[in-house]
Copies of this chain bind each other. A is one copy, B any other.
């Protein structure tokens, strides 16, 4: 196969359309890099594995997009501005066509978010993509998971469930018309990291994360880290028109336990409602209130989500066993 150095030179050398931030980038033992004064680096790592995070026949351009998008989504959830990333890549063989499409997909989104590739590693091996991404955020403005407070509203961005519906289409778990199939598959393969929204929520939202494993599981991470409960109206969870054409039990499972949404779930005080709406409007991303944070019954209680429908009727949801793409 092509040597590591030819691979890097050909497909991953620095692109001129991205602002260089590293003093020293690809080609030395380390990249040298620092955040701006008053800011901290927000750092996140995601590893993508064939069969777990993408199907073997995925379009490599889409895969290049998604590999960086899911990392940028972690920065978005922190309210951090993308700066740079490293890429480690294990490839069964170096097929030039595949690498050209993969790197093109990756650099398209890297350029859009002005995020510089500053280093990496390539090796032979079963296909594996590991990206570490670096953003900047003043620490006091970071959107953490442990800052939700009783009385906060629970919000989500965009719509949920389409990505899981797309996986169902690819797996032939259900069939839909071609237009809806395209909507679903696009959501699965081309997630849009909510970076601009994360930045707009600085100073307004209290806590945030990105929904990668399904709303039910991910919201619970905020509750556990913040030691609070939540009440959520399942009918308020935003869905596309396409998803609304699936049977209602499937809609519910896709939106609540679907995974791969890469929308933000965040909490904010009720007094911030207008500011949150304005933040969403300013970046053209819909934001929807779906519930409320409440105090734990006692200090020893396990944080939990209470689900109800639009009429206020409590629901007992059994979401276990609805495997999404990310199952460990």
| Chain A residues packing against B (C-beta within 8 Å) | 1-4, 7, 23-24, 27-35, 39-47, 49-53, 74-75, 77-78, 80, 86-90, 118-126, 128, 130, 132, 134-135, 137, 139, 142, 144-146, 208-210, 225, 326-328
Contact = CB atoms under 8 A, between A and B. Distances in A.
Contacts of A29: 42, 44, 74-75, 77-78, 145, 208-210
A134 B132 CA distance: 11
A30 B80 CA distance: 9
A328 B47 contact: no
A124 B88 CA distance: 17
A120 to B, nearest CB: 6
Given A32-B142, A41-B33, A139-B32, A46 B125 contact: no
A32 B42 contact: yes
Contacts of A135: 30
Given A49-B123, A86-B45, A128-B47, A144 B40 contact: no
Nearest to A33: B41
Query: Closest 9 CB pairs between A and B?
Result: A49-B125, A130-B130, A30-B42, A47-B88, A126-B126, A29-B77, A132-B132, A45-B86, A30-B78
Given A24-B142, A27-B225, A29-B210, 16 more contacts: A28-B145, A28-B146, A29-B208, A30-B135, A31-B43, A32-B78, A33-B43, A43-B86, A43-B119, A44-B86, A45-B130, A45-B132, A46-B88, A49-B126, A123-B326, A126-B128
